[in-house]
Structure formats: C-alpha cells, structure tokens
Structure 1
Amino acid sequence: MKIVRHPRRPAVRRAVVTASVLLMPLALAACTADDGATAPAPPSPAATASGARCVTGLPAPDQSPQTGSAPEAAFVVDGSEVVTPRGKTYKAMGADTSAVLVSGSGKLTTHDSAIYKYGDTTSVAASAAWGRNAAVLARDGGLLQLSGGQFEGQGRGATGVVAAGRGARAELSGNGIKTKGAYAHGVMASHGGTLDLRYVQIDTAGAQAAPIATGPGGAKVTVSGGTMTSAGCGSPGVQTCGDVSVANTLFDLANSEAFTVEPGGALSLKDVRASAAAGGVVLRGDGKASFAMSGGSVQASDGDVFLVERATADVRLSGGAEATTKDGKLLRVRDGGTVTFTADGERLKGDTLVSGGGGATLDLRGRTKLDGRIRGASLTLAGGARWSVADDSSLKALEAAPGTSVKEMIGGIESNGHTVTYDKALSPALGGRTYRLDGGGTLKPA
C-alpha cells in the first residue's frame, strides 16, 4: 500500500469556528430536485470547537426556483477556443455573477491564473444544481483546462469550480482552491458534468461546504493526489449523489463527518487517508448508495465509522483499509436503512448496531478479523475469518460462506465467555442447536 501521511491541521482551524456555526441552516442536499425544491435531508452532525454536537436545521424555502437559467459572468467563452496569458487575473463582484464562464463548444485553457469571486448567490438551489455564483463555471458542453493558479470564492454559494450540464468538463492540475461562505463547495459537478482533479489543494471555511460535491442529474468526478480540508459545520470531504473516485488524497475535516453518500451516489477510495471530527462515512436517503475503500484509512474522532440512514447501501473494504473511531460504533444502521457490509482481509474493531426497522449483513471474507458486539445484523463467515465477541450478541441469520463448513464457521467465533443468539428460522444450517464456542461462551437459538 502506498503510504500517504495526514495533512497537518492548521493551528487556527478550530479557533475560528464560533458558536454562530450552530445557527447555520443545513445545506441543500447535494441531490437537489431539478425544479429547485429542496429534497428533505436529515441533519448533519458535526463537532464544534468546544466539542459540542452541531446539528443544523433545514434551509428556508428558496425564493428563486429557476435553477437552470442562463448564468452571468465577467469573462465569457462561448463557441471559441481561448488560451489566456500565463498569470492572468479574473474577478467578479456582486450576486450571481461568476468570474469565468465557458459554455457550448467553448474551451478555455489557463496557466497560473488568479480567479476571484466575491458576493452571494440569491438561490441556494441554483448554486447547488447548476453552479450559479461559482468562481469558475463550465456549462452545457464547455471545457475548462486549468493548470496551476489560485481560485477563491467568498460568499454564500460561491463554489470554486463547477461543471454543470451534459458535456461540461473541468480539468484541473496543480491548483489551489479556497472558499469562504455557506454552501460554497470547493468543486462541484452536476447534470452530466465531469471533473478531473490532479494534485489540487482545496480548503473550504463555510458551513455545508464540501471540498468535493456532486449535484443532481448525474456527475462524474475523478481525483488523484492533493489535500482537502474543511472547517465548517456539516462539510464532509466528499458529498455525492454521483460517481466519485479518489486516489492518494488526504482529507482533514475539522467539523464534519469524512464522507457523505446520498441516493444514487457511489464513492470509491484507494489509498486515501481521512481524519474527521464527527463520524466517518454516512450513507443516507431513500435510494441506493455505495462506498468502496481499498487501503488507506478513515479515522473519526467522534461518532460512528459507518452510519446508514434509510438508504439501501453497499459497503466494501479491502486492501488493508483502516476504519476507526474513538467514540462510536463501527456500523450503525437505523431509520429503515439496509446495508451489505463486505470486508476482505481486514482488521475491524467496534460494535454493529441495527435499529429502527433496519437490516445489515456482515460478510467477512479472507482473513478478516472483527472485534466487537453485533446486535440485530446477519453474519456470514468465511473459513479464514474470525469474529472476537466483545459482549453478548444477537444475530439474525448466521451462515457459512460458500466453501466453508458449519464447523469451520463456528470455529471462527471467539466468544470470550459471551453468549451469541441466532434466529433459527434464518439459519437453517445450524439446525436450531446450541453450540459451545471457543472461549467458554455459547451459540444458541434466540
């Protein structure tokens, strides 16, 4: 596995997060309805500088539902190819105006440019869906090729770089992006837009301002290298309902969970290292969501490593991925959520808890070892996998993986003197019998 070190947290990061963050409205969900209506989203927890929980509310109704209306910008490229002089500066002031806009068959190439956007959006929905008020915006077929340079957005909804609309694409290499303001993401793609980031550094300072985000209508984002930090309440490193792949990248999230996957979203990580203050990975909403992680680590200072709410989720860990929390569960499923959690050759520690009508299946493969309590989930054990029982546990189904005998499966449970119960109707191979486990405990029907 490639070794990637955590970024150093800026010394002033937590000090600047004041109590006013507690009053910030919840950002519009990344998957905003096309008509500008706000899709209901659960509150996003985060830790403030004092260590208190920060739970935001729903946003006020948006007053400007025409999210797909023609954008405005100080510098526009439409239907032509432009290569700007190295080090050129672009600025935009006021509401709803981008500094740079490329649309249609337009193409813009910059080298070491400085791009600044100051001013608020008048429509959070339009910003979340179509990139209104972004510093740099590619719309409906426009192509951006941005090499080096610094891009800054200051204001509500002043996202750094956006690709929105079918065929819109932004390619970034070696850039620095800073945003300051609620709903001001680092980069965002939506409605068929595509982002390709290589060795980009993103720093966001507002509430509900993820360094990487996708909006409605489908989007694809690829990230290689770089460092992503956020300071605001509810600003995960990635918030997506699109297809996002990240490799060899560092995330430091001072007041948020590490990653949030919304319905329709798929997030894939390879050798990524993330440190977060308020939980690891959240998969939520009414729909399918998936998360895959190979190598790297997700470290949560507070909260659960994996939280599934309402979603139909698929989680896969492999390649020696580390997933830890100082205070919380390894996996929590609630509010009717369901998850298939597959670990291949992993070492996992923490409890699994299912409540609120939810369901979970833990599929432990290879030489995976799980140390923790399980309540309300099903478990599938392969021959080389081990479960070290941390407390009395209650399973739904208990099954041996294909190619593994019942004897091998039972031999892989280290009871540590605890009792494990199972649902005999869901575990027919066990025959409704009681078994002695290694470590002095028992396995018996509920």
Structure 2
Amino acid sequence: MKNPGLPRRQGHRRAAATASVLLLPLAVSTLSACSDDDGATNPPPAASPAATASGARCVTDRSADDKGPDAEPRAKAGYTVTDKTVKAKAQKEFKTTTGDKSALLVSGSGKLTTRDAKIIKHGGTSSVTASDGHGLNAAALARDGGTLTMSGGRMSTQGKGATGVFASGEDAKATLSSGGIRTKGTSARGVTATHGGALDLTYVEIDTAAAQAAPVAVGPGGGKVTVSGGTMTSAGCGSPGVQTAGDVSLSQTLFDLANSEAFTVEAGGSLSLKDVRASAAAGGVVLRGDGETSFRMTGGAVQASDGDIFSVQQADADIELSGGADVKTKDGKLLRVTDKGRATFTADGEKLKGSVAVGKGSSAALDLTGSADLDGKIVGAASLTLGPKTQWSVSGDSALKGLKLADGAKVSDVIVGNGHTVTYDTASSPDLHGKKYQLEGGGTLKPA
C-alpha cells in the first residue's frame, strides 16, 4: 500500500509522509495554539504537575467538562429515517445550524445510504456529557439499531460537542468509505461509538481542530471501531488519535497529533494496531483507569517529540509489540508505571531505547523474546525476562525485582553492563542462584 501524505492544516505547518519515508516525522516540538469554538487561537493550557512529571504537556480529559445530564436525550435532526430503507440521491446536502440538533438521524429499523453527500453541522451542545455519551449534537447519528452507510462525501462541523459521525446503542452502526470529516469545536470528535455501537471506516480522512477532540473515540458503554487506511490529524490539546473505552482496531492508518499523546486507552478498552504510523507532540500511548487495558502493535511506528512512549496510570495494562514495531521518544521514558498500575510488557524482536520507571506501589513485568534489544535502565518494582537471542544494554545503575533467563540464556550473552551496577532480588530470581556476575562491557550483576 502506498502511504498517503498527511493533509496540511491551514495555519499549521505539517511535514508530509510519503511511501519512501520509513517513519513519520516527529510532530512539531513547539506547541501550536489551540482553537476555541469560534475559531480563535489561544495559548495551550499550562500542564499540571502530574502531567509535567509524566512528560505530557496537554492532558486528555477522562470525562466531559460540564455537569449536564447523562441520561439519553431525545434526538432531533433535520433529516430522520426511523423505520424504512432509504437510498439518498447522490450529492445530497444535509444541514443544520441549530444547537443540540443533528443534520441526519437514523434509528430503529431505519437504514440510510448516501453517496458523495455534503453534511454541514453548526451549533453547540447544551451538554457535553450527553454529546460524549449519546451523540447529542452530532452531525450524523445512528442509534438504537439504525444503520448508516456513507460513501465519499464531505462533512464539516462547528460548535462544542459537534462530533462528525456517532453510533450509539446495540446494533447501531455507521459504515464510512472514502470521504472526509472536519470538526471545529471543543469535544467535537471525528467519530464516536458508545453503548455497543459500531463504526467501520475505510480510507476516511479526519481532521479535528479544537481541544478534547480525538479523531476516533469509543466512550461510555463501550463499542467497536475498525479503521483501514486513511489519515487522522488533530490540533487541539488533549486530542489523541484514538481515545477508547472499547475495542478499536487500526490498520495502515496515519496519525499526526500536534498537541496530544498518540493514543489513550481507558479502563475496559483495547487498541490494536497493524502497520500504523503516528507522530505526536506529547507522548505515545497512555493506558489508564481502574481496570484492564490492552495495546497491541504489529509493525508501524509511534514517535513522540516529548513525553513517555508508554504511560500506565492505575490500570492493569497488557502491552505487546511485534513485527518490527518502532517506538521512539525524544524525551521521556520507554515505560512509566504510576498510581498502583500494573504493566505486562512483551516485545518480540523490537529494538527499544529508553528507561523503565516503576513508581511506588506499582509493578511491571518485561519479557523480551526473539531478537529484541533494550537500551536503557530499569528502576522500581520491575521484573525482566531475557531470551537467548535478546540483549539488554544497561545505560544506568538499575534495580530489578526479578531476572529470569529463558530458554538457556546466559548472563554473559544477554546483558551488556557498560560499567553499571544491576541488583536483583534473590528470591524472585532463582535462575541466578544468588551469585554475583561480571558483565560484558564492565559492571556487575549482584544480589540486592
């Protein structure tokens, strides 16, 4: 597949990605301004101390920024299909300029198919909570079993909570192929699924311009989103390429995030990437919340010009890299685990650079297999398993909870000390028999 170049956003300088480039360029290191709902530009908000400690400069909110009702609102739309199958004429326009009203709504047993439609939505929401949870004020809304199929066409929205396409409720589904979505407003995401809704996107371009406006999101009650190809860009603070509390699968998609981390996985969420490339200005992947999260990455690349590549906050996180996945950060850790988080990190053949830091009350288990290499130091309650073809190049004094040598691996073959000291817990490292070892390249491995 030939990788398309990233679209250029007016007012923001972008570096193009082409098929000849192995990795996306790093996102701009200086934060761009964040746009408000009226299109004005304001300086990015100052990061909180917690955000600064983790390397993030713009924080992605977990929840809505208002106290509006969370009950399912009565849906209103300029064009509604509820109990029949409709094939709209090509290039039909759907439009609304009223707050809390969608341009089009499909519900119940209704089915709507469009081709090269023009969809315009202006006007803000009265409740960000209802917009995030149930699609209030979305441009196109499929809910309660409704099915929406869109081929080609362009969609533009302006206003708080004016998400592009929203699927909410069991059996609600929206299928999009080609075409594009552009949103301009706080909490105006590209596409969102909630409460069991489903989205299927193929070669769709999504561009969001304001804060808390992820191009792809799965919110309350979960849902399922599949994305193949396409380009996704965001300019606003706290607008990761994907923010999910459900199941999201991506393949061969490009992301460029000017003021956010690349991806956020909330409790109960899972994110799977295959040959996906992302550049982000404020960190790589955040897995957080009181619950299980998972991240799978096969091939592709995630680059961050600031912040940690993987940040686990409170969550029970399962992270797997394979197929030559390339993850890099200019500043920050490879893996940081905080707030009593628990991380299982597996890399099969990857070349990894960066330190691992595990906070008090948190834990991490790292497993390097195949020909995986790690260049970095490890501190905190972390255990490490090394296979016979792996290598750990120690970049600073390190302390391990446990060290396991899998499949007959030998200390002299898999650890390069570079003059540093590595300590281990004897009880958690039976393979080492409580001995002290001289490391290749200088340094020692010894009991704590």
TM-score normalised over the length of structure 1? 0.90
The whole-number CA distance in structure 1 between the counterparts of 2:424 and 2:418 is 17
The whole-number CA distance in structure 1 between the counterparts of 2:74 and 2:399 is 57
The whole-number CA distance in structure 2 between the counterparts of 1:53 and 1:146 is 36
Alpha-carbon shift at residue 154 of structure 1 (Å) = 0.8
Change (3 A) 1:15 1:315: closer
The whole-number CA distance in structure 1 between the counterparts of 2:231 and 2:305 is 19
The whole-number CA distance in structure 2 between the counterparts of 1:46 and 1:204 is 27
Indicate if the aligned counterparts of 2:105 and 2:140 stay in contact, CA closer than 8 A.
yes
The one of 429, 432, 442 equivalent to 2:431 is 429
1:132 corresponds in structure 2 to: 136
The whole-number CA distance in structure 1 between the counterparts of 2:427 and 2:262 is 38
2:317 corresponds in structure 1 to: 313
Change (3 A) 1:409 1:308: same
1:292 corresponds in structure 2 to: 296
Kindly indicate whether residue 414 of structure 2 is the aligned counterpart of residue 384 of structure 1.
no
Change (3 A) 1:90 1:45: farther
- Which range moved further: 352-361 or 200-209? 352-361
2:18 corresponds in structure 1 to: none
Unmatched 5+ residue regions in structure 2? 13-30, 36-40
Residue by residue over 1:209-246, the C-alpha shift from the partner in whole angstroms, topping out at 9 and shown as x without a partner, is: 00000011120100000000000000000000100000
Kindly indicate whether residue 251 of structure 2 is the aligned counterpart of residue 247 of structure 1.
yes
Amino acid at match of 1:444: K
Amino acid at match of 1:441: G
Amino acid at match of 2:235: A
2:23 corresponds in structure 1 to: none
Alpha-carbon shift at residue 439 of structure 1 (Å) = 1.0
Amino acid at match of 1:391: G
Identity across aligned pairs (percent)?
59
Amino acid at match of 1:212: V
1:417 corresponds in structure 2 to: 419
1:230 corresponds in structure 2 to: 234
The whole-number CA distance in structure 2 between the counterparts of 1:171 and 1:263 is 26
Alpha-carbon shift at residue 20 of structure 1 (Å) = 3.2
Indicate if the aligned counterparts of 1:45 and 1:278 stay in contact, CA closer than 8 A.
no
1:442 corresponds in structure 2 to: 444
2:6 corresponds in structure 1 to: 7
2:149 corresponds in structure 1 to: 145
The whole-number CA distance in structure 1 between the counterparts of 2:102 and 2:279 is 32
Residue by residue over 1:50-84, the C-alpha shift from the partner in whole angstroms, topping out at 9 and shown as x without a partner, is: x9934578865513232x13211110000100001
2:34 corresponds in structure 1 to: 17
Indicate if the aligned counterparts of 2:84 and 2:109 stay in contact, CA closer than 8 A.
yes
Change (3 A) 1:119 1:69: same
The one of 190, 196, 206 equivalent to 1:192 is 196
Residue by residue over 1:61-111, the C-alpha shift from the partner in whole angstroms, topping out at 9 and shown as x without a partner, is: 513232x13211110000100001100101111211000000000000000
Kindly indicate whether residue 84 of structure 2 is the aligned counterpart of residue 80 of structure 1.
yes
Alpha-carbon shift at residue 428 of structure 1 (Å) = 1.9
2:67 corresponds in structure 1 to: 62
Alpha-carbon shift at residue 25 of structure 1 (Å) = 12
Alpha-carbon shift at residue 398 of structure 1 (Å) = 0.3
The whole-number CA distance in structure 2 between the counterparts of 1:43 and 1:99 is 40
Indicate if the aligned counterparts of 2:319 and 2:345 stay in contact, CA closer than 8 A.
yes
How many residues are treated as equivalent by the alignment?
A: 423
Change (3 A) 1:387 1:400: same
Change (3 A) 1:139 1:280: same
Change (3 A) 1:21 1:168: farther
SS of the equivalent of 2:220 reads coil
The whole-number CA distance in structure 2 between the counterparts of 1:329 and 1:9 is 30
Unmatched 5+ residue regions in structure 1? 27-41
2:20 corresponds in structure 1 to: none
Alpha-carbon shift at residue 24 of structure 1 (Å) = 10
The whole-number CA distance in structure 2 between the counterparts of 1:157 and 1:118 is 10
Alpha-carbon shift at residue 175 of structure 1 (Å) = 1.4
Change (3 A) 1:116 1:345: same
Residue by residue over 1:142-186, the C-alpha shift from the partner in whole angstroms, topping out at 9 and shown as x without a partner, is: 000100000111110000000100000000000100000010000
Amino acid at match of 1:428: P
2:398 corresponds in structure 1 to: 393
Indicate if the aligned counterparts of 2:194 and 2:218 stay in contact, CA closer than 8 A.
yes
SS of the equivalent of 1:53 reads coil
Alpha-carbon shift at residue 300 of structure 1 (Å) = 0.1
2:126 corresponds in structure 1 to: 122
Residue by residue over 1:13-36, the C-alpha shift from the partner in whole angstroms, topping out at 9 and shown as x without a partner, is: 26553673545999xxxxxxxxxx
SS of the equivalent of 2:431 reads helix
Residue by residue over 1:387-426, the C-alpha shift from the partner in whole angstroms, topping out at 9 and shown as x without a partner, is: 011111111110122xx22x52552001111111001121
- Which range moved further: 228-237 or 389-398? 389-398
Residue by residue over 1:120-141, the C-alpha shift from the partner in whole angstroms, topping out at 9 and shown as x without a partner, is: 1111111111111000000011
The whole-number CA distance in structure 1 between the counterparts of 2:144 and 2:192 is 14
Indicate if the aligned counterparts of 1:6 and 1:273 stay in contact, CA closer than 8 A.
no
Amino acid at match of 2:213: A
Alpha-carbon shift at residue 46 of structure 1 (Å) = 12
SS of the equivalent of 2:441 reads coil
Indicate if the aligned counterparts of 1:236 and 1:259 stay in contact, CA closer than 8 A.
yes
Residue by residue over 1:264-306, the C-alpha shift from the partner in whole angstroms, topping out at 9 and shown as x without a partner, is: 1000000000000000000011100000000000000000011
The whole-number CA distance in structure 2 between the counterparts of 1:303 and 1:295 is 21
Indicate if the aligned counterparts of 1:46 and 1:233 stay in contact, CA closer than 8 A.
no
Change (3 A) 1:60 1:295: closer
TM-score normalised over the length of structure 2? 0.90
The one of 407, 410, 417 equivalent to 1:408 is 410
Change (3 A) 1:119 1:127: same
Indicate if the aligned counterparts of 1:290 and 1:314 stay in contact, CA closer than 8 A.
yes
Kindly indicate whether residue 365 of structure 2 is the aligned counterpart of residue 361 of structure 1.
yes
